[in-house]
Each structure stands twice: as structure tokens, then as C-alpha cells.
């Protein structure tokens, strides 16, 4: 089995290191030549909940530097770069190769249009990690993966192989309802990334505030509205709660809100000091993944002719920040209307 991982940052890095330690034929791609050299000579450094160590592996700095074809290709770059990578990887795929998507947000349908649906295996990453320096990855939590195929029965043996590779890092479950898993994470991501990006707030500052928590629950409600229209059953990713528990119903009582607010604060207690990845991108002056998180929800809603006012507003406002037309400030949240 030959494996390639495109992107060796916060998510791709730990996956690559654990696969490499099991002597799999692996090549990784990073867009930075100096990082590729570092990974080959000194190794990728793992730390945090990982045993601190360096893991060497074959690394190149461009997809066109890959040699030969690969059975499994993991796409672990930012969502906005995924389609470009999927197009570039086509010459390196066998007829029965699969491409595994590991992004925040939802990119699977776009990737399927490029590589064909039967080649796509969607993955939900339910753990936390960050790149603290070039070639240094700090994983801050344990967790799980959920994976599922877009190709019905055509790549079931590959699905088992992907599970085996990801199991080297963390327990991996195969689901026949991958969009149910993707939507479960999408709702959480949309709440944390959207509200955090506009305000500059940490997760703790968002969930402590009753008004911001109502917006979070409204975002979740909009995700479930889309899922219901598409006949997608959103699944439970965490043993302690179902995503539906965080969606505020349109005719909710104050008691219902208070119960959900208490749960929201409990869930995010370990992550109170974390700032969203979208906010970090904006702070660095980079384009964010908003089009694949809140923007995905807004586009789906338009296609389905339903209303998702919170996600639609958030998407437009974050794009204004990207263009330099709006500042990051808590006042932005006061403009949001459910």
C-alpha cells in the first residue's frame, strides 16, 4: 500500500507521523521546502498529549514532485485549497485509489466532482491539535475519527484500509451516514468559528454570554433545518450529547434555553481559552475557511429555498473583514439577527 498525505500541519502531521512509525510506504507534501527538508532530516516533532518525539519521513514541497501512483491520498490542507490539490493529485491515482478529506467544513461534494464520488472517503476529525512552529505539532486532546464513503459499495476494502491507518493515531468508526457526521461537526464549527471570527472572543467568552449562546443555538437550528430538508439524519459524535441538544427550537421556553446553555458551557469547558481557526486566519491577514463552514450552510439554504439568516449574515460579515471593510469587534455580534 502506498500512501500520500497532502498537508502536514495540525491534522495531517499527527496522522502522517503515526502512519510512518508503522513502516507504511508514505510520502508527505508540504508547500514549504524548508519544512520538507526538516521533516526528512530531523523529523516532524510531536508534543502535547503525544509522547514528545521526532518522526522522519519522505517529504516533498509540491504535489508534482511525487513519484508514482498512490492507493490512498489524504487531503489535509485548508478547505479553500482542497479542490486545487484534488485536481493536482489526479495523475497519481490508480483506478481504485481513494481520496480522504480531513477539512473543517464540508468539501466532499466539490472533491467528488473532480476525482469521482466512488473515490471519496469523508472524514470527521473529532480531536484538537495545532501547529506551534514549522514542523512542530502539539496535539491537545484525544478523540476519534468518523469516516464514510461517498461511493456506496465500490471502495469498501479501501474504507477498511483507511480505518486501519487512522486507527494508528486514534479510534476510527466507519459510518454509512457520513453526511450525518459531517453536519454534526459543521454545526459546532459554524458556531465557534463564525461567532469567534466576528468578535475576537474565545470559546469561553462566547458560551458564557446568554445572547451569544442563543446565536450559537440558532446556528445549530439552521443546520438542522438544512439536514431535515435533505433527509440527512445528523448523528451523535460524542457520548455525552447529541448535536440536536444544542439547537434551540423556534418556540423554545426560557427553561429549555437555560438547560441548553448549561450543557453548552459544560461541553466547552476544556476549550474555554481557545480561539477559532477562522479568527486566527483573519488575524494573520489570510483568507479564511468561512465559505466551507457558515458559507456552506448559507449556500445550501439558498439551493433548498429555506432561510438561514444567522449563517448568511456571518458569512457576509466575515468576507467584509477579509476585504478590510470591517473590524473584528464584539459589536459585530450585535448586528446578527436570528
Are residues 51 and 31 in contact, defined by beta-carbon separation less than 8 angstroms?
no
Percent of the chain with pLDDT over 90: 91
Q: Say whether pLDDT at 334 is over 70.
A: yes
pLDDT at 152: 64
Calpha distance 9→138 (Å, rounded): 10
| 20 and 65 share one domain | yes
| 152 and 201 share one domain | no
Q: Which domain holds residue 303?
A: 180-335
| 244 and 163 share one domain | no
| 118 and 243 share one domain | no
What confidence category does residue 328 fall into, taking pLDDT thresholds of 50, 70 and 90?
A: very high
Domain count within the chain? 2
| 118 and 190 share one domain | no
pLDDT of 105-164, one tens digit each?
999 999 999 999 999 999 999 998 989 999 999 998 899 999 999 976 667 899 999 999
- What grid cell was written down for 284? 494573520
| 273 and 192 share one domain | yes
Domain boundary among 120, 148, 176: 176
pLDDT of 74-97, one tens digit each?
999 999 999 999 999 999 999 999
pLDDT of 170-180, one tens digit each?
999 999 999 99
- How far is C-alpha 183 from the chain's CA centre? 11
CATH number, domain with residue 132 = 3.40.50.720
Of residues 1, 54, 59, the one with CA closest to residue 30: 59
| 214 and 296 share one domain | yes
Pairing of strands 53-55, 44-48: antiparallel
pTM of the model: 0.94
Q: Say whether pLDDT at 338 is over 80.
A: no
What confidence category does residue 251 fall into, taking pLDDT thresholds of 50, 70 and 90?
A: confident
| 185 and 311 share one domain | yes
pLDDT at 163: 98
Q: Within the chain, where are the H helices?
A: 12-20, 33-41, 82-89, 108-115, 156-167, 178-199, 203-208, 210-229, 254-267, 277-283, 294-304, 309-322
Determine the average pLDDT of the residues in 305-331: 97
pLDDT at 212: 97
Calpha distance 151→100 (Å, rounded): 12
pLDDT at 270: 87
pLDDT of 190-206, one tens digit each?
999 999 999 999 999 99
Domain boundary among 131, 155, 176: 176
The chain-wide mean pLDDT, for the chain, equals 95
| 172 and 187 share one domain | no
pLDDT at 153: 64
Angle at CA of residue 269, ends 263 and 272, nearest 5°: 125
pLDDT at 238: 86
pLDDT of 45-59, one tens digit each?
999 999 999 999 999
| 117 and 242 share one domain | no
Q: What DSSP element (H or E) covers 174?
A: strand 172-174
| 246 and 309 share one domain | yes
CATH number, domain with residue 196 = 1.10.1040.10
| 88 and 29 share one domain | yes
pLDDT at 292: 97
Domain boundary among 150, 176, 202: 176
Amino acid at each position: 500500500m502506498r500512501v500520500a498525505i497532502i498537508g502536514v500541519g495540525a491534522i495531517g502531521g499527527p496522522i502522517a507521523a503515526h502512519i510512518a512509525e508503522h513502516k507504511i510506504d508514505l510520502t508527505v507534501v508540504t508547500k514549504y521546502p524548508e519544512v520538507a527538508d526538516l521533516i526528512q532530516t530531523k523529523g516532524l516533532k510531536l508534543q502535547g498529549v503525544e509522547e514528545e518525539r521526532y518522526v522522519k519521513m519522505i517529504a516533498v514541497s509540491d504535489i508534482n514532485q511525487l513519484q508514482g501512483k498512490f492507493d490512498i491520498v489524504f487531503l489535509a490542507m485548508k478547505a479553500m485549497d482542497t479542490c486545487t490539490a484534488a485536481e493536482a493529485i489526479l495523475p497519481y491515482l490508480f483506478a481504485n485509489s481513494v481520496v480522504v478529506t480531513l477539512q473543517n467544513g464540508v468539501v466532499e461534494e466539490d472533491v467528488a466532482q473532480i476525482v469521482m464520488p466512488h473515490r471519496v472517503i469523508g472524514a470527521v476529525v473529532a480531536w484538537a491539535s495545532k501547529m506551534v512552529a514549522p514542523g512542530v505539532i502539539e496535539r491537545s486532546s484525544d478523540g476519534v475519527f468518523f469516516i464514510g464513503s461517498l461511493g456506496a459499495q465500490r471502495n469498501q476494502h479501501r474504507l477498511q484500509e483507511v480505518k486501519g491507518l487512522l486507527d494508528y493515531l486514534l479510534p476510527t468508526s466507519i459510518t454509512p451516514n457520513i453526511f450525518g457526521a459531517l453536519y454534526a461537526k459543521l454545526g459546532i464549527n459554524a458556531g465557534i468559528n463564525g461567532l469567534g471570527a466576528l468578535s475576537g472572543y474565545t470559546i469561553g467568552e462566547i458560551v458564557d454570554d446568554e445572547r451569544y449562546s442563543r446565536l450559537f443555538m440558532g446556528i445549530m437550528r439552521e443546520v438542522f433545518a438544512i439536514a431535515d430538508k435533505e433527509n440527512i439524519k445528523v448523528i451523535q459524535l460524542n457520548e455525552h450529547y447529541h448535536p440536536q441538544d444544542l439547537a434551540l427550537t423556534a418556540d423554545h421556553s426560557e427553561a429549555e434555553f437555560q438547560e441548553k446553555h448549561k450543557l453548552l458551557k459544560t461541553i466547552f469547558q476544556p476549550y474555554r481559552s481557545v480561539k477559532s481557526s477562522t479568527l486566527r486566519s483573519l488575524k494573520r491577514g489570510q483568507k479564511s475557511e468561512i465559505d466551507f463552514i457558515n458559507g456552506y450552510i448559507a449556500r445550501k439554504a439558498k439551493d433548498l429555498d429555506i432561510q438561514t439568516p444567522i449563517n448568511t449574515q456571518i458569512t457576509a460579515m466575515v468576507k467584509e473583514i477579509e476585504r478590510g471593510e470591517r473590524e473584528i469587534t464584539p459589536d459585530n455580534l450585535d448586528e446578527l439577527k436570528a
